[in-house]
Amino acid sequence: MYLKGSKWNMNRRTKRANPWRVIILLALVGAAIYVNQVIVPATPPLFIPTPTPTIPPESFVTKAQELEAQGKYAQAIAAYGDAIKADPQNPALHLSLARLQIFAARYDEAISTAGNAMLLSPNNSQALVLQSWAKGMAGDFVGAEEGINTVVQTDPTNALAYAVRSIILSMRDLAGQAKAETRDDAIESSRTATTAFRASSSSKKALGSITTPLPMRQSVPG
């Protein structure tokens, strides 16, 4: 029996999901889990108390974290900016701000902020990871790959680096700028990131906690 109508038409074909969208989504979720649950808790203390009778800089961070939890990214970014003004030489503050700028799709700002963190802490691989991530989301695939490949080579246990590398390569493929081996590299990076995430002591606790989508600047074909 054949019933007509959009609801009952048995011959309707379900649109297949783009597998690269799935890879990017999984990598984004894994990266966000790692950043929020592994890197952020492991960040050294942000401030050293001073006797100066001004507003304590850590109060700005507390405010920023509260605003971020409420999804008020613009206000949270402003609060981190105030914290940096109070303690401009602290690389951890720049990293926290760059992370949030990526979540808020303010990629050019994140690139600059992560660069400031690298100037303050040249050996901090996470700063280069965040900058590469922002470059990839902004469509600068060449610059993003150069940075992330440097991290993978010098810090081969960096789970976030592999997740970001998978994102960059997948987006490059979708944009039609891929090399012959790009797809295989993206899949392998995704697998390596998954293994590294599972090895992290905090990743299991973090599963299911990510609700923040990461918009991409350029449109991705379906």
* Count of structural domains within the chain: 1
**pLDDT, position 21:** 55
> Do the Cβ atoms of 196 and 162 come closer than 8 Å?
yes
Q: pLDDT band for position 184 (50/70/90)?
A: confident
Q: What does the pLDDT average to over 99-117?
A: 95
Kindly list the distances between the CA atom of residue 15 and the CA atoms of 12, 18, 19, 202, in Å, as whole numbers in the listed order. Answer: 9, 9, 12, 36
Residue 149 clears pLDDT 90, i.e. is over it: yes
Amino acid at residue number 45? P
Q: Is 3 part of any domain?
A: no
pTM over 0.75: no
Average pLDDT, the chain: 75
Q: What does the pLDDT average to over 63-76?
A: 93
**pLDDT, position 7:** 47
CA angle 78, 72, 167 (to 5 degrees): 90
Q: What does the pLDDT average to over 16-42?
A: 52
**pLDDT, position 112:** 97
**pLDDT, position 105:** 93
Domain span at residue 125 reads: 26-41+55-206
Q: Is 222 part of any domain?
A: no
**pLDDT, position 116:** 96
Q: Is 77 part of any domain?
A: yes
State the CATH number of the domain containing residue 174. 1.25.40.10
